Amino acid sequence: GDAVVPVAKCDLREYNSHPKELLPLKEFLEYWREYIGNGHSSPRGCLYLKDWHLSRAFPEQDVYSTPVYFSSDWLNEYWDAAGGDDFRFVYMGPKGSWTPFHADVFRSYSWSANVCGRKRWLLYPAGQEEFLRDSHGNLPFDVTSPELRDPRVYPRSSRSQAPLEILQEAGEIVFIPSGWHHQVHNLEDTISINHNWVNGCNVAVMWCFLQDELAAVHRELSQWKDPVEDWHLQCQLIMKSCTGIDYKEFYNFLKVVAENRISILEKGLDEESSSRRDSRAAISALGMLHAVFDLKRTAKVLGSLIANEDFGKLELSSLSPPPQVLLQRLESAIDTALL
């Protein structure tokens, strides 16, 4: 009850999201009981506990295990190794709480498991969001708003497909593909477990997203390019502040994934690792062929990163091993595994 949790104010808008505050869990639960008892209303408005890093905050609790279908999870594998963050979340909200229109971090996959309650999902396949931009190029906050049908504000909305609608019941899991924008409403008092994750099947999408984000920063800063000597470093810094990662950290992300799989292929899994429910045990459980598949996908993206002009302009001497050396080691491990 003393855990401090992030709580969104669903009745307010801050840019294209809900503003958040930090509350003790017991205070939020007291509010929730009062909210239900008062016919799902409160002078404090509709509050939604979301993006709570329960697993990271209380690792000893071991409150749930990841379904095997989603266990190839490079994103959390990397941040578990790097420390300081993860992409495993608990959401707890009353009837009427909701999440505005968005796509997930790094254009990752996501899965969401309802412990109890019901959710209504509105999903648009990747690319459809372009028809929903307003005359200034901004995405809508709420795709259910009547304003979306006003051609003066949203000139291309009539060309958009209708969203895919899912009613998610308790005990069901929803999978969101990379780049699918979506909006979610709690139809009842609901608790859910949510993960964002990347693996060999969508790491190229993540890399494309990062290139697009850097290009957007370049466009915004182009008028200041000449007088600033470290312009490319500043662009990386701004991109990281907006997205959470820059090109150097993306290299380290690929390195951790690659080295874990090379280790499994070379050494196998020892009994100590097998007894734990950690990332290395999960990798081994997927088998040798999956490890080789992951290495092939990593090698392809790493090769593209090394050839990237903006990556080449960075100071790469701090990276260990050097990118080209890591790529050669990857290719050698793949060849050896396939013999």
- Which pLDDT band, with edges at 50, 70 and 90, does 230 fall under? confident
Q: 209 and 187, same structural domain?
A: no
Domain boundary among 197, 225, 250: 197
Q: 188 and 75, same structural domain?
A: yes
User: Strand 190-197 to strand 109-116: parallel, antiparallel, or no bridges (unpaired)?
Assistant: antiparallel
pLDDT score of 284: 67
Average the pLDDT over 233-250 and give the result. 95
pLDDT score of 271: 53
Residues sharing a CB contact under 8 Å with residue 163, sequence separation 6 or more, in sequence order: 122, 123, 124, 143
Tokens of 336: 């050896």
pLDDT digits (tens, 9 = 90+) for 257-268: 999 999 888 877
Instruction: Name the residue type at position 125.
Output: P
pLDDT digits (tens, 9 = 90+) for 67-87: 999 999 999 999 999 987 899
Q: Supply the CATH number for residue 93's domain.
A: 2.60.120.650
Alpha carbon separation from 153 to 14, 40, 139, 156 (Å, rounded): 20, 33, 11, 9
3-state secondary structure of 188: coil
pLDDT score of 339: 76
Cα angle 244, 250, 251; round to 5: 155
8 Å CB contact between 60 and 154? no
Q: What is the mean pLDDT of the chain?
A: 93
Average the pLDDT over 9-17 and give the result. 95
Q: 256 and 162, same structural domain?
A: no
pLDDT digits (tens, 9 = 90+) for 29-70: 999 999 999 999 999 999 999 999 999 999 999 899 999 999
The answer on pLDDT for 273 being more than 60 is: no
Phi, psi of 174 (to 5 degrees): -105, 135
Q: 279 and 231, same structural domain?
A: yes
**In whole angstroms, what is the distance from residue 5 CA to residue 300 CA?**
39
How many domains, in total, are found in the chain? 2
8 Å CB contact between 7 and 52? no
Domain span at residue 121? 4-197
Average the pLDDT over 124-139 and give the result. 96
Query: Which residue in 113, 54, 57, 87 sits closest to 279, CA to CA?
Result: 87
Average the pLDDT over 158-175 and give the result. 97
Q: 213 and 183, same structural domain?
A: no
User: Strand 164-168 to strand 190-197: parallel, antiparallel, or no bridges (unpaired)?
Assistant: unpaired
pTM over 0.85, yes/no: yes
Q: 105 and 172, same structural domain?
A: yes
Residues sharing a CB contact under 8 Å with residue 147, sequence separation 6 or more, in sequence order: 140, 153, 154
Q: 229 and 178, same structural domain?
A: no
Strand order in the sheet with 88-93: 20-24, 4-9, 47-52, 88-93, 190-197, 109-116, 173-176
Q: 228 and 158, same structural domain?
A: no
Tokens of 248: 């150097």
Domain boundary among 197, 218, 238: 197
pLDDT score of 287: 84
Domain boundary among 197, 229, 255: 197
Q: 44 and 20, same structural domain?
A: yes
